[in-house]
A = this chain, B = another copy of it.
Amino acid sequence: MPSDPTTSHDLKDACVVAAHAVIVEHGIEKLSLRDVARKLNVSHQAPYKHYPSRDHLLAEVIRRCFKQFALTLDSRTRHAVPLDDLHSLGHSYLRYALEHPLEYRLMFGTPWPNVEADAGLLVDARHAFGVLQAALEPLYAGQGISHETQEADALFIWSSMHGLATILQSQVMNHLALSEAVRTGAVQHVMQMVDSALLQRLGAARHLHN
């Protein structure tokens, strides 16, 4: 909690921090502007100055998760070889998911609030997916692969990484009777299989155009 949430700008930020705390303590369903106000020791009406509804505050919480998430992905170690860069992106993605399970769940594991009015959330969510699309671009550059195929392939990469992230977060994999080598090599293996599918795409494109 900031030391003095009475100034307007501070209160806007403080509400996001308090909302986070309420979600950690009571779950996302229980988030209310009333609880946030109580946590901040301000009047029940105060948060409404910045957030017309509980859903607007929740949208802002999730938007900031996407913003931080995209920043993390953007600040990955870069590689000139496109597949190496995609691996680096994958590792950043998985690390973020494992280190920020709550934020990850807010972005991808819970129903979004009604966001018709909140374009900011959409912009930041799309930017995060855009990081993946941009990383795929150099691999496919000049191969005559359609924009739609690139989008669909990005969705495939995301499905695999998202699935892996949530499997690694849950304990289910530990409970399956998998051999130790498979368990410890899972990330590497899934990335190799994704590579394999992408390289097939490139091979097919070359075959088509030669």
Question: Interface on A for B, CB 8 Å cutoff?
Answer: 27, 29, 107-112, 115, 121-122, 125-126, 129, 147-148, 151-153, 155-156, 158-167, 170-173, 175-179, 181-182, 185-186, 189-190, 193-194, 196-197, 199-201
Contacts and interface: CB of A to CB of B under 8 A. Distances in A.
A189 B29 contact: no
A164 B175 contact: no
B166 A108 contact: yes
A197 B196 CA distance: 5
Contacts of A156: 160, 189-190, 193
A174 to B, nearest CB: 9
B186 A155 contact: yes
A190 B200 CA distance: 14
A126 B176 CA distance: 6
B109 A170 contact: yes
Nearest to A122: B175
